[in-house]
Amino acid sequence: MIRIDCPFCGPRDHGEFTYAGDATKVRPAHGSTDMEAWLDYVYFRDNPKGVHKELWHHAHGCRQWLVVERDTTTHDVLSVAFAKPSKSGGG
Amino acid sequence: MSEPIKPMVDIVVSCGAMHFYLSQSDKGTLVFGGDLDGYNTYAQRGNLPLIDHVMAAGVSLMPSLSRLRFHRHWGGVMDMTMDGSPIICKSPIPGLFINGGWCYGGFKATPASGWCFAHTIAQDRPHDLNTRFTIERFSSGHLIEEKGAGPFPWAQ
């Protein structure tokens, strides 16, 4: 069981969350015709053994998207932050 | 895997809708199969929500399982690909061939895939059956989507 300390809801087990993979990939510009860039964005992932920066959606909680740093060998959660910080400074 | 019980199931039960399967070993234990951990991991320990999910599928299919005790579960690393299908092909480097990315399948397909792979190496070209299982399918768009889950290995 992985426990994620949601910055809004507090510590919850991972059953409340939906996993969404690598958080470091940046989508190419909407009109980009660079197929290599799209190929990299859609299909290529590093899958590190160790610290992995990844997206989790708190689907059964506050429904915020979170960026979680997690060790893929121990499941230690090293950091949790909102994927999109609030403009009002709330997170 | 359950505690050993008297003979109960003499076939392999497989339910695609729930992604659950079951058989009984010679020792009497019921052997269950189900989904992936659901995230990138090398921890080889599984997780309780998934065990709960697999058992819920089992009990809904065969309510008589509900009082059985669990003995142990498997924990391994799955070499997932982006479309849930394996890669069996030549590589861009002469003399280097690839057979991998078997996801959670493969065990039952080992003889046929080994035969195709041997053909690929011996003839230096793929057999008809593995022609499409290339690495290039991701750049060409000719994916072999077993489940239609999209490029999300944890959801295959």
Q: Is the pLDDT of residue A84 over 70?
A: yes
A91 — pLDDT class (breaks 50, 70, 90): very low
Contact between chains at A49 and B139 (C-beta distance less than 8 A)? no
Above pLDDT 70, what percent of chain A? 93
| Residue ending a domain, choose from B77, B103, B136 | B77
**Is A51 at the interface with chain B, CB within 8 A?**
no
Residue-level pLDDT at B76: 86
Interface membership of A76 toward B (CB under 8 Å): no
CB count, 10 Å around CB of B72? 8
Same domain for B38 and B105, yes or no, is no
| ipTM, interface predicted TM-score of the complex | 0.89
The predicted pLDDT at position A89 comes to 53
- Dump pLDDT digits (tens) for A51-82: 999 999 999 999 999 999 999 999 999 999 99
Torsion of CA B80, B81, B87, B92, to 10 degrees: -120
Residues of chain B with pLDDT under 50: none
Task: Give me the domain span that covers residue B16.
Answer: 1-77
Shared domain check, B48 and B27: yes
Instruction: Identify the contact set of chain B against chain A, taking CB-CB distances under 8 A.
Output: 38-43, 45, 47-49, 82, 138-139, 151-154
Contact A13 B38 (CB under 8 A): no
- Round to the nearest angstrom and report the end-to-end CA distance of chain A: 26
pLDDT tens figures, B20-50 = 999 999 999 999 998 889 999 999 998 998 9
Measured between alpha carbons, how far is B25 from B2 in angstroms, rounded to an integer?
10
Apex B79 CA angle, B112 and B85, nearest 5? 50
Alpha helices in A4-87 (DSSP H): 35-43
Name the residue facing B38 among A19, A45, A72 (closest C-beta).
A19
Same domain? B49 vs B93 = no
How many angstroms separate the CA of residue B88 from the nearest CA in chain A?
18
Residue of B nearest to A2 (CA): B47
Same domain for B98 and B138, yes or no, is: yes
All structural domains of chain A: 3-82 (3.30.2270.10)
Taking an 8 Å cut-off on Cβ atoms, the answer to whether B39 and A47 are in contact is: no
Examine the pLDDT at A33 and tell me if it is beyond 50. Answer: yes
Are both B59 and B91 inside the same structural domain? no
Question: What's the rounded Cα separation, in Å, for the pair B156 and B144?
Answer: 12
Q: Does residue B82 lie in a domain region?
A: no
| B81: closest chain A residue by CA | A43
Shared domain check, B147 and B122: yes
Query: Is B73 in the same domain as B138?
Result: no
Which residues from chain A sit within 8 angstroms of residue B152, using beta carbons?
20-21
Of residues A13, A19, A39, nearest to B154 (C-beta): A19
B41 to chain A: closest CA residue: A72
Identify the pLDDT of residue B109.
83
pLDDT computed for residue A87 by the predictor:
64
